[in-house]
Amino acid sequence: MSSSRRATAVAFLSTSGSTGRTSAVANLAWVLSSVGHRVLVLDRGSEPPRVEEYLSRFHVHDVEPPDPATTARRYAMPGWTGHVDVHTPDGGADARASAGPVAPVVRSAAERYDYVLLDAPTGRDDGSLAAIADVAHVGVVCFVPRPRAIRDAAALAGAFRGLAVRPVDVVPLVTMFDHGYDPRARQSLDLIRAEFSGLAGDEPGRTRATIQLPHRPFEAFDPLLAVLVEDPDDTTGLREQYEKLAAAVTDGRVTRMGPVRRSTRSRYRRAFGLEAVAEPDRVLVACHPADRAWADWVCELHRSAGTRAVLLRGHEEWLDDGAPVEVLVIRSARWEGSPRQARLARLLAGRDVDVRWVRVDGDPDRAVAVDPDRAAADGPEVVVADLDGPDARARLLTGLDLVGGADADEPGGFPGGNPLTSLLPNRLAGFVGRDEELEAVRDRLLDGGGPVTVGGAPGVGKSELALEYAHRFKGLYHAVWWVPAHDRQAAMISLSRLAAATRSPGRAVEVAAAGRPAWPLTALGSPGGSPRWLLVYDNADSPGALEGLVPLEGPGHVLITTSAGAADVEPAELPPEDARCFLLDRVPGLGADAAERVSAALGRLPLALRLGGSWLAETVARERLAATRTTDAVAWSARTLLDALAGGGRPDLVGRLVSLVVDALSREAAGRTAVALAELCSFLSCQGIGLRLVRSAAVVSALVEICGEDAEPLRLDSWEVDRALWLCVRFGLFQVDWGEHNSVRVHRAVQQALIDRMPADERERRHARALRALAAFAPTEAEEAEESDDGRRNRAWHFRELQKHVFPSRAMDSDDDVVRRWLVSQLRFLYTDGGAEVGLLSMEPAHALLARWTARFGPDDALRARLATQLANVERKTGKAETALKLDESALNHQRETLGLTSTQTLISARGFGGDLRGEGYFSESLDEDQTTWSGFRQNFGDDHPHTRSAANNLAEALLLCGEPGRALALEQDNFARRMRLFGDKDPNTWWSLMRVGVYQREVGEYEKAGHALRRAAQRLKFGGGTSAAELAARWHLAITERLMGDVKGARTRNAETLARFQEVLGPFHPETLACALSLAVAERAAGEAAGAVERSRHVVAGLCDEVGLSAAHPFVGLARLCLGLSLRAAGDVEDGAREVAAAHGILVDRLTESHPWTLAAAVAVARLTAAGGDTSTAVKQLTRTFRRCRTFLGAGHRTTRVAEHNLARTREPGAERDNGWRDSDVDIAQT
């Protein structure tokens, strides 16, 4: 209901809290909206609960707020034409009190609302009261029936009326009134009449009769609408009083509350525990198969509200079992006139069943509509078309009388939405039928029995079925991912991309050698993972290809397409009607009888129908161009196709159709070019070929070479590639997505047919030419080193595209040096840009390739040496320093003999070899190697070249490890300045360099500068979608710096947080993860958590030796044992602590020098443990000798020197006992 009159403004006032004022506002708003009025509530109350808490279960959608600092929501009852809009200022009570004047809001709402209810702040502030009195027509004064409260309320009413600029009505509203105590009740009413009868400026009738809201215990527990809870036939309850209140504020225009469905009232009462029910309500949901996602979502919405809802299909017996049941129909254009609609009509004939409707397409503005011709039978139709998820859910809850508990689970996803994380090929525009198979897939997945397989011969439509399922139901999942499974590597790489997309990159696919199951398989079900997910593994035909790569648990679904073995769902030929429709849509003029004959000859298989239908359409078009009548052209073309297919069997059907298509295309030059393009693509991935690759100069050159004169137009105009693509699309060979994620897809059965029809020698030439095109598409070594943003993006796109084709193209079997050079660069890309998990993925095939090249070309082959160098990088990145060292040393020896000491490839290998030496703990040898490498790059390329900058970074690290942090700092500061000048502040490597500057500043004792540099670096190293290992390294080093500056508590917290992220990003046993864990052990010991420090230190020692594979004599193992020994001492185990510290000192003396900073720190610890064991005199001698060495080799300001000096002073103090008051000089494991 609406009117042209201006809105009536009603202010609700009270002098104190706990008067039920906000409850009265909410309940009156509900009564007014029940009879069609538009109500606005301005929530300016100063204490909870808020108005929207009373109405929340009937939220329809948010509305446009009057200003950005206000939340505006609409609430409505199903079937009502009225509604309640609530405006609530964001923030707490202070925000509501200071939300600005109400007059502009009330005046602007006058034309859009019938009533404006203002929940005013508690109390009697004259300024606020005057502003409210300026716009109000009625004042409702709320109070409890106590004498003081009554007098205060009357005084408030008088002040309000005195401030009003026009005559205003006053309605006394006494709450929590109990008629059970008649004498007290009469006294209270007498006092109310006396106090309110003498209001200033009172006129006859301007002070309304007192409204008496009785006390109800249920109001003390939850904010609820009492008018819905009360029995409508109860004439002594709250509802009657609210109707009197409505009559008072509307001048008698509203005297009764609108009708409420009994089911709504019952479900509302149940939601608050006010009504028990033996069995939940039952609902049967009917839908067209294409709307199954909507039906499932609506069923889950019902279940979340405590209603038992199932699909009608499979539960028709509910209609005859005698128990109450309701039918809900998902209505769409697909439903109207469908067989399922007809069947439902037959089922409902003669039955007295409530039917409701949910419209999922059509007019979105019809929030709740009723067809007057069948309103009694159908009930309201709830329209959710074009709404987003929250609004659709709110509208359905309201429209279907669904009132769940406050903590009811929301259904996952939304049928009209998209998953948060998704990677899917585009939906097939020509997909038809398969409704029963799609329903079967859905049913099996919902049964929760594990992965569901879709099987059948190639061309039967397995992948198309899986893709249609993924698109049809994707809105119900939070993550949907398409995993190419034609080979294991493709599957692992796709899963790694999923890991990166879900921000858990380090958990991805710890494969093969480690023998451990990996993320994303476990992380999908973890607390931080996606709550619902769908993984589709396509073309998983190789036995064992998916071993360890399929999730075994978690709240998600797995769908696998395969041609091998038995399957859960096996799509057969299309139903005759669907097959006929498929052809009739593609071949204008084809009659139904001819379509039936042709579809039967094509086996009614989707791929065959696409190829045959495309050939038929193109042939008819050519005949018509030759002036043949359409009917004759269609008849001749269909007969020709049928003759060509006669006598053959289904196994070679696709091959014969491809030959027909190729023959048809080969009649003209453009078609022959298209065929050549299709033949090249037949050696590439069936999961999609990027248009940038297809259009590239590499592919154009290959086509020009193959086609000769036919490709002359292409030689002069690369747009001819798109013409060839379109010809292949028209004839059914390709599917092309021209959009943002553009690609060319060739069915693998078509690929195989194209390959099989080529003679052996031609097949070999085409294969070789395809491989050379891929190699030519790869960036060169120099292009690969490009560090600009554009260079990085271009390099990444090229190599990511090429990675898809490495295994399908069988590039690793090639002896062509051009192809082999590309494979070396491809491995380099996986090392630099692929993330931690891709390094793991690449190791197994790279080792196999290295073995093949060694056997085929010998150990002295140049490309074999370069491959070994890149493989060593990958091994080093994954913590396998010993393996990397052997690979690099072998390659480097060969290159120095054959290429010379200063060759670029020799220097690249030498740079890696230096890293291997550092990783294995040979620091002085690494320093020599890194110094020579840096000098070589400076000589070859100058100081600013990327290779030189990388070598400078390595040299600085080697200097630190050899105990020269001052030289390391000077070198890295120069490196940072150059990077900033060359690449600016957007380059992550610039901030990596600053992070290293911070580390070196810390090691020379410049803690304040170090902290500033590390904070800045950590902030700037936040790039991409998740947390990078570089950012974590900066945060780890910052925690160390904070600890050294005395903030042990803050350092421990930061260290613990960083370690948790390291474990996710790099895995629990990566060297940097273990190094970070040792730093946390130091912080725990400093914080007095000795037991935890002991346990963590033992874990690090075991991890370095058993998982990383470091030798027991490695300096890092020595540092871990040093920390363990000191932690044991802190825990009271002096004997074992002394043993560990002595062993650590021995390792460092043997592998470093006695003057190395780490060795001297260990010597201080040896003295401490000696003193702790009671031999103070020996400890003093040890410490004195160490202190002298510290001053000589480290300087007086070094932290180890200061610790030694402090401890020595403690031994000279009166009463000094053992090692009481001594300090430790801890050493953290460095990055290499």
Q: Which residues contact 447 (CB under 8 A, 6 or more apart)?
A: none
What are the counts of helices (DSSP H) followed by strands (DSSP E) for the chain? 50, 23
Q: What's the CA gap between 487 and 811, in Å, rounded? A: 14
Q: What's the CA gap between 562 and 573, in Å, rounded? A: 17
Provide the 10 A C-beta neighbour count for residue 486: 20
- pLDDT score at 406: 40
* Cβ(703)–Cβ(680) below 8 Å: yes
117: which strand partners?
10, 41
Residue closest to 1100 by CA, chosen among 1072, 1139, 1135, 1129: 1072
884: exposed, middle or buried (Cβ count in 10 Å: 0-12, 13-18, 19+): buried
Residues of the chain with pLDDT under 70: 1-5, 78-79, 91-100, 179-182, 200-205, 207, 220, 232-236, 276-278, 362-380, 403-412, 500, 503-531, 647-651, 787, 834-841, 879, 1023-1027, 1215
What CATH number does the domain located at 277-399 have?
A: 3.40.50.10490
Residue closest to 119 by CA, chosen among 100, 148, 149, 142: 142
* Cβ(267)–Cβ(403) below 8 Å: yes
Give kind and range of the element (H or E) at residue 452: strand 452-455
What CATH number does the domain located at 421-562 have?
A: 3.40.50.300
Q: What's the CA gap between 880 and 920, in Å, rounded? A: 9
Question: Domain coordinates of the chain in residue numbers?
Answer: 8-249, 277-399, 421-562, 662-762, 1092-1211
Q: What's the CA gap between 893 and 631, in Å, rounded? A: 77
Phi/psi at 88 (5° precision): -125, 120
557: which strand partners?
534
- pLDDT score at 523: 55
Q: Which residues of 962-991 are buried (b: 16+ CB within 10 A; e: fewer)?
A: bbbbebbbebbbbbbebbeeebeeebbbbb
Q: What are the tens digits of pLDDT across the range 724-774?
A: 999 999 999 999 888 777 899 999 899 999 999 999 999 999 999 999 999
Q: How far apart are the first and last CA of the chain?
A: 76
Q: Which residues contact 724 (CB under 8 A, 6 or more apart)?
A: 670, 673, 674, 677, 703, 714
Tell me the Ramachandran region of residue 747: left when phi exceeds 0, alpha when psi lies from -120 to 50, beta otherwise. beta
Pairing of strands 381-383, 354-359: parallel
**pTM (2 d.p.):** 0.72
Q: Do domains 277-399 and 1092-1211 have the same CATH topology?
A: no
What CATH number does the domain located at 8-249 have?
A: 3.40.50.300
Q: Is 7 helix (H, G, I), strand (E, B) or coil?
A: coil
Look up residue 1139 and give its two tokens: 């043993």
Provide the 10 A C-beta neighbour count for residue 91: 12
- pLDDT score at 40: 94
Q: What kind of fold does domain 1092-1211 have according to CATH?
A: 1.25.40
The CA-atom distances, in angstroms, between 437 and each of 138, 340, 428, 432, 730 are 64, 16, 17, 12, 28
Q: What are the tens digits of pLDDT across the range 694-729?
A: 999 999 999 999 999 998 898 888 899 999 999 999
- pLDDT score at 469: 95
Give kind and range of the element (H or E) at residue 174: strand 169-177
Amino acid, res. 1099 = H
Q: What's the CA gap between 281 and 294, in Å, rounded? A: 20
- pLDDT score at 633: 87
